[in-house]
Amino acid sequence: MLPIGPLMIEHRLIERMIRLIEKMIEALSQGAHVDLAFLDFTVDFIRTYADRCHHGKEENILFHDLEEKKLSPILRNILQELIEDHVKGRTIVTRIEKAKTRYLGGKSSALTEIISQLKELISFYPKHIDKEENHFFRPVMDYFSNEERENMLKEFADFDRSLIHAKYKELVERSEAG
């Protein structure tokens, strides 16, 4: 398996989550109350799975390894766009969290911001995934030897194994800090 295989599998789960977010937006637009538990789940999923797990492997392993390669100008440009996309995704999630806090504080107008940012999220991810899968992943694999590809797959597995420990260590430390 190429290292892009696990990344593309992760994309499928992100796409499934995006469909669930679309359903939440539809319900909200029809007057449903905000499902705060699902909103929290959405933020956690995007922050932990899409960003820390998925983007973490891309940034810390794939993109890092590509920095050493003489990429074509087109691929180098796409790499930079993908890095910027990851920052944009983080920004959207932060905005959702801040709007939720305002909403919980009694500012009903924050619901409009929550919906707006959720729409931004469901617009963002399909385009980002398309860019990676159809314009970047396959061509960059040609820059790696078979041995480098195998090592990358091992690094991905090691990254995934350590992620759960890092997440919950951080949660405990935040709770301890008060």
What CATH number should be reported for the domain holding residue 19?
A: 1.20.120.520
* DSSP classification of residue 50: I
pLDDT: which is higher, 169 or 156: 156
Residue 53 lies in a domain: yes
pLDDT of the residue at 175: 86
Q: Is the pLDDT of residue 164 over 90?
A: no
Residue 175 lies in a domain: no
Residue 61 lies in a domain: yes
How far apart are the C-alpha atoms of 163 and 175, rounded to whole Å? Answer: 18
| Neighbour tally for 32: CB within 10 Å | 10
Percent of the chain residues topping a pLDDT of 90 = 87
pLDDT of the residue at 14: 97
pLDDT of the residue at 166: 85
Q: In which band, very low, low, confident or very high, does the pLDDT at 110 lie, cut at 50, 70 and 90?
A: very high
How far apart are the C-alpha atoms of 13 and 153, rounded to whole Å? Answer: 19
Give the domain extent around 145. 4-170
Confidence (pTM): 0.92
Query: CA dist 38 to 20, 71, 119, Å?
Result: 10, 41, 15
Q: How many domains does the chain have?
A: 1
Residue 33 lies in a domain: yes
How far apart are the C-alpha atoms of 59 and 69, rounded to whole Å? Answer: 15
pLDDT of the residue at 115: 95
Residue 114 lies in a domain: yes
Q: In which band, very low, low, confident or very high, does the pLDDT at 128 lie, cut at 50, 70 and 90?
A: very high
Give the chain's mean pLDDT.
95
Residue 131 lies in a domain: yes
Residue 177 lies in a domain: no
Q: Is the pLDDT of residue 99 over 90?
A: yes
pLDDT of the residue at 131: 98
pLDDT of the residue at 53: 95
Residue 178 lies in a domain: no
Condensed to tens digits (0 to 9), the pLDDT of residues 8-44 reads: 999 999 999 999 999 999 999 898 888 999 999 999 9
120 touches 85 (CB < 8 A): no
Q: Is the pLDDT of residue 170 over 90?
A: no
Percent of the chain residues topping a pLDDT of 70 = 100
Tell me the mean pLDDT in the region 115-144: 97
How far apart are the C-alpha atoms of 117 and 98, rounded to whole Å? Answer: 11
7 touches 58 (CB < 8 A): yes
* DSSP classification of residue 52: I
pLDDT of the residue at 81: 98
